[in-house]
A and B are shown apart, each in its own frame.
Chain A
Amino acid sequence: MSAIDDFRQETRAWLEANCPLSLRTPTPEGELVWGGSKVEFPGEDQRLWFERMRDKGWFCPDWPVEYGGGGLSPEQVAVLESELRRLKCRPAQINLGIWMLGPVLLEFGSEEQKRALLTPMARGEIRWCQGFSEPNAGSDLASLKTSARDEGDHFVVNGTKIWTSYGDKSDWMYALVRTDPHAPKHLGISLIVLDMRSPGISVSPIDLISGKSAFCQVFFDNVKVPKSQLIGPLNGGWTLGKSLLQHERKAMSKFGETSLPNHFHLLPLVERYLPEPRSVADQALRARALACAMDEHAYALTVQRMGEEARSGQDISGLMAIMKLVHSEQDRDKFEILLDALGYHALGWEGDAFSGEELAITKAWLNGFALTIAGGASEVQLNVIAKRVLGLPDAK
């Protein structure tokens, strides 16, 4: 038997013994465990699973052992992931730092930064948030204005970041800031990390059209940030930021594959609310629902194909570039159809005139509008496909 087969056997046995039975199911809404100093566990099993994975170094299985990782080879990580999938294990924690900042620190961070930041990250002790977008820098992220002024041994940060998920609950932030206001816009940006308890930081949550949300706006008023917290070269932040976003997409596609339950099944719902189509209009609605479900099927097959192509060493950058666009737009289409099928039942805001499921569908429909905007609006995704994948020329 080869070494990788041995590893599979050991991993399977360890997971069987250590992943609590109750956590081998899809994660219900609101039961995700977010690491950090204020970590909360919905139950004892979640705490056990968190601690066991942490002590094994498997929050970051591919990181070097010296920084708190599991030290696994890419092949072993693939085995671990497939065994986690096989047992349907819930993620032991969700941690933006590990997914996004960690890989960038490993590549660009100084030895000192790696030791200081990666180890607590790998132990799930710090909850990270992201400071990228600003009120006037959305799709055109490089026009960001939040400034970090050089004051000798430290920077002084002023400005504001918006759409920061869980800004109010996070311990640290990684942020893109302007360090050279005179350079061309892409060349004056740096990546820094900062403690959210620093004096001068204030956070206000944002209500969306769907109601309460995780999004916050963060304000910086003369916030002191030591220079040791600059990641990578001064004014070299744009490249690092792009790399971070690539890790985000990779993590999101993995996350989407394994742990997000599909809450609302389109066709059974349409059937329930439109049991006997009596008009051409009803038939047309059912046809729309069917076409939407078929497109979802084709998307799921594309996720599978992308995995197989990656494992066989093919270039999957083209497929990666379409995933977010397709998934968010399909979801939006799906909820539009549900809204039409449920009619008045999908127009409730709260109260017992509507079922819990109906209210949830309405919220999910409203929330879907954020999904085709956040993380790169659909139009930005189309630009990326046109230019980077298809090689179409830039406008003059």
Chain B
Amino acid sequence: MSLIFNQEQRLLADTAREFLAARSPVAAQRRLRDEGAPLGFDAALWGEIVGLGWSAIPFPEDFGGLDFGCQSLGPLFEQIGRNLSASPLLSSVVLAGSLLQLAGSAAQQERWLPALIGGDKRLALAIDEGGRHDPLATELHAERCESGWRLSGAKLFVVDGVQADGYLVVARTAGQKGEAAGLSLLLVEAGTPGLTVRPAALIDSRNCARLQFDGVLVGADALVGEADGALAVLETALDRGRVCLASELLGAAETLFATTLDYLKTRVQFDAPIGSFQALQHRAARLYVELALARSAVMAGLAALDDASLSAAERARLASLAKWKAGQAADKVSNEAVQMHGGIGVTDELDVGLYLKRIRVAQACLGDADYHCQRYGVLLSTKA
């Protein structure tokens, strides 16, 4: 397992750095927010990203993919974090695409995968129902009926759920809230009667929705994978998403840290750059340490995604370590960035606030640091 990027991945990072700096700098994200863009991302930019082949990276060639492996998503998400670039790459490609690739029927794959990779359609994952990420807490109920399945319940925090073409819905088909068995995955297309989609405006001004299912009827062919046994495949796809988010958090935090260092070197008070004061120097040094540890954890999480020699539990544990450490480091960096910038740090004029808000959303998404600390512990005692 290598903890550095290979030549191909470094090239990918270079391309992404140049492309995003030109086409999707932080100013572009700010403009989308100010305009109140309903999608939260720029559809034209998404088209260009698809054109660069990024959405094809993790998938086999049979579906129009490039088969570069999931690790290669790392350098992209890191650059996405640096520029705060919004796109449906995580929701529609990494999460929904992975689920269909891993568990979809041939018909489902044929219908959806090329469309997701090609950017013609978007799917969103509808998983969480409570205030915090917790797949096992799923209560949204799906029962078998004559025509297929009937869904009732609600989903919160559906990333890129506004104007999606459909939803991969985690539903409870057996057992009780809190139990690992009894979860199923159903594909519900937008516009199905009984499904209400309401936008939720978040602090990072991205695309997010709340879904309400009132007796939504779907066919038997809406089931993705096995009934009652969706958890294993769900965790595999979630872990891909978690490590991508960890990469994004790392990129955002490193950029914010660099901005803050510049400020410490140039802001003068008491006739000296404030970065010459030891009280601030030591705090900055500790942030550097946190970021260095976070980078190692993220690199290991990425490498583990494609490493077939690891057990499922080991792979999952490294994903949790990555999300835990990157989330924790990014939280600390963003809090300190605001404080060290002083008064101007709390103004909207500065980009510091945009980073702070995106970091908080990405940190909560698919499990915050507490969630992944707990999960790491459970996985450690799983001798799989």
0/1 string, A278-303, CB within 8 A of B gives 1: 00000000110011011101110110
Contact A386 B289 (CB under 8 A): no
Verify B261–A390 contact, CB threshold 8 A: yes
Docked Cα-Cα span, A379 to B264, in Å, equals 19
Contacts of B2 in A (CB 8 A): 308
B350 interface hit (Cβ, 8 Å): no
Could you tell me which residues of chain A, from 287 to 333, have a CB within 8 Å of some CB in chain B? 287, 290-291, 293-295, 297-299, 301-302, 304-305, 308-309, 312, 314, 318-319, 322, 325-326
B272, A396: Cβ atoms closer than 8 Å: yes
B294 at the interface (CB under 8 A from A): yes
What residues on B are CB-neighbors of A395 within 8 Å? 272, 276-278
Given contacts A291-B373, A301-B300, contact A325 B265 (CB under 8 A): no
Q: Is the interface of A mostly helix, strand, loop or mixed?
A: helix
A302 near B278 with CB under 8 A, answer no
Is A260's beta carbon under 8 Å from chain B?
A: no
Given A298-B321, A394-B276: A325 in contact with B288 (beta carbons within 8 A): no
- A392→B265 contact, CB < 8 A: yes
Contact A305 B299 (CB under 8 A): yes
User: Interface code B322-353, partner A: CB below 8 Å = 1, 0 otherwise?
Assistant: 00110000000000000000000000000000
Residues of A within 8 Å of B, CB-based: how many?
A: 39
With A294-B325, A325-B289, A385-B285 in contact, do A287 and B373 touch (Cβ < 8 Å)? Answer: yes
- Residues in A with CB closer than 8 Å to B277 are 395
Q: Which residues of B contact A322 (CB under 8 A)?
A: 288-289, 292
Q: Is B281 touching A301 in the complex (CB atoms < 8 A)? A: no
A389 interface contact, C-beta 8 A:
yes
- The answer, yes or no, to whether A254 is at the interface (CB within 8 Å) is no
A119 to B285, CA, bound (A): 41
B321-A309 in contact (CB<8A) = no
A299 (CB) vs chain B CBs: closest residue? B293
Please tell me if the beta carbons of B284 and A390 are within 8 angstroms of each other in the complex.
yes
Chain B proximity of A372: nearest CB distance (Å): 14
Residues 272-318 (chain B) with a chain A CB within 8 angstroms: 272-273, 275-278, 280-282, 284-286, 288-289, 292-297, 299-300
Q: Interface size of B by Cβ–Cβ distance < 8 Å?
A: 37
The answer for the CA separation of A288 and B6 in the assembled complex, in Å, is 36
Say whether A393 faces chain B, with CB atoms less than 8 Å apart. Answer: yes
- Residues of chain A within 8 A (CB-CB) of B282 are 379, 382-383, 386
Chain A residues with Cβ under 8 A from B321's Cβ? Answer: 294, 297-298
Main secondary structure of the interface of B (DSSP, over half): helix
Which residue of chain A has the shortest Cβ distance to B277 in the bound complex?
Answer: A395
How far apart sit A392 and B281, CA to CA, in the bound complex (Å)?
Answer: 7
- Say how far B36's CB is from chain A's closest CB, in angstroms: 39
Contact assessment for A382 and B285 in the assembled complex, using a CB-CB cutoff below 8 Å: yes
Residues of A with C-beta under 8 A to B276: 392-396
B284: min CB distance to chain A, Å: 6
Return chain A residues, CB-CB under 8 Å to B146.
none
In the complex, A322→B273 CA distance in Å?
Answer: 24
- How far apart are the CA atoms of A106 and B289 in the complex, in Å? 33
User: A211 interface residue, CB < 8 Å from B?
Assistant: no
How far apart sit A382 and B287, CA to CA, in the bound complex (Å)? 11
Complexed CA–CA distance, A325 and B287 (Å): 13
- Residues of chain A within 8 A (CB-CB) of B376 are 290, 294
Asked if B145 CB lies within 8 Å of chain A CBs, one says: no
Closest to A301 in B: B296
* CB of B11 within 8 Å of the partner chain: no
Contact of B377 with A302 in the complex, beta carbons under 8 Å = no
A 364-383 binary contact with B (CB < 8 Å = 1; else 0):
00000000000000010111
Cα-based distance from A148 to B294 in the complex (angstroms):
48
Taking a contact as CB atoms under 8 Å apart, the answer to whether A301 and B373 are in contact is no
| B62 at the A interface (CB under 8 A) | no
How far apart are A325's CB and chain B's nearest CB, in angstroms?
A: 7
Question: Does the CB pair B273–A393 fall under 8 Å?
Answer: yes
Determine whether A267 belongs to the interface, using a CB cutoff of 8 Å to chain B.
Answer: yes
Chain A residues whose CB sits within 8 angstroms of the CB of B202 once the complex forms:
none
CA separation between A146 and B373, bound complex, in Å? Answer: 51
Check if A319 sits within 8 Å of B292, measured CB to CB.
yes
Contact pattern, B 365-376, Cβ under 8 Å of A = 1, otherwise 0: 000000001101
Chain B residues positioned under 8 Å from A394 (CB to CB) = 276
Q: Could you tell me the distance in whole angstroms from the C-beta of A292 to the nearest C-beta in chain B?
A: 10
CB-based contact B286/A382 at 8 Å: yes
A386 near B297 with CB under 8 A, answer no
In the complex, A379→B3 CA distance in Å? 29
- Docked-complex contact B265 and A304, CB < 8 angstroms: no
- Interchain CA distance A393-B261 in the complex, whole Å: 11
Task: Establish whether residues A318 and B292, one from each chain, have CB atoms under 8 Å apart when the complex forms.
Answer: yes
Residues of B close to A389: CB separation below 8 A:
285, 288
Is A38's CB within 8 Å of the partner chain B?
Answer: no
Q: Which chain A residue shows the least CB distance to B329?
A: A298
Q: Which residues of A contact B278 (CB under 8 A)?
A: 383, 386, 395
B271 within 8 A of A: yes
B284 to A295, Cβ gap below 8 A?
A: no
Q: Given that A395-B272, A396-B271 are known contacts, is A298 also in contact with B294, CB under 8 Å in the complex?
A: yes
Contact B373 A390 (CB under 8 A): no
Q: Is the CB of B3 within 8 A of A308?
A: yes
Minimal Cβ-Cβ distance residue in A for B303? A301
Chain B contacts of A301 at CB under 8 A? 3, 296-297, 299-300
Among B4, B265, B294, B376, max chain A CB count under 10 A is at: B4
Which chain A residue lies CB-closest to B299?
A: A305
Q: Is A391 an interface residue (CB 8 A)?
A: yes
Is A263 interfacial (CB 8 A cutoff)? no
Residues of B within 8 A of A391 (CB): 261, 265
Tell me if B52 counts as interface (CB < 8 A to partner A): no
Min distance, Cβ A383 to any Cβ of chain B, angstroms: 7
Is A115 an interface residue when CB atoms closer than 8 A count as contact?
no
Q: Is A85 an interface residue (CB 8 A)?
A: no
Question: 19 additional contacts, CB 8 Å, given A392-B275, A394-B276?
Answer: A287-B373, A290-B376, A291-B373, A297-B321, A298-B325, A299-B293, A301-B3, A304-B3, A312-B4, A322-B288, A325-B289, A382-B285, A383-B278, A391-B261, A391-B265, A392-B265, A392-B280, A393-B276, A395-B278
Query: Which 10 pairs across A and B sit closest by C-beta, in order of nearness?
Result: A386-B281, A385-B285, A301-B296, A305-B3, A302-B296, A298-B293, A392-B275, A382-B285, A393-B276, A382-B282
Of the A-B pairs whose beta carbons lie under 8 Å apart in the complex, a sample of 18, sorted by A's number, is A267-B380, A294-B325, A295-B325, A298-B296, A302-B296, A308-B3, A309-B4, A314-B4, A318-B288, A319-B292, A322-B288, A379-B282, A383-B282, A385-B289, A387-B281, A389-B288, A395-B276, A395-B277
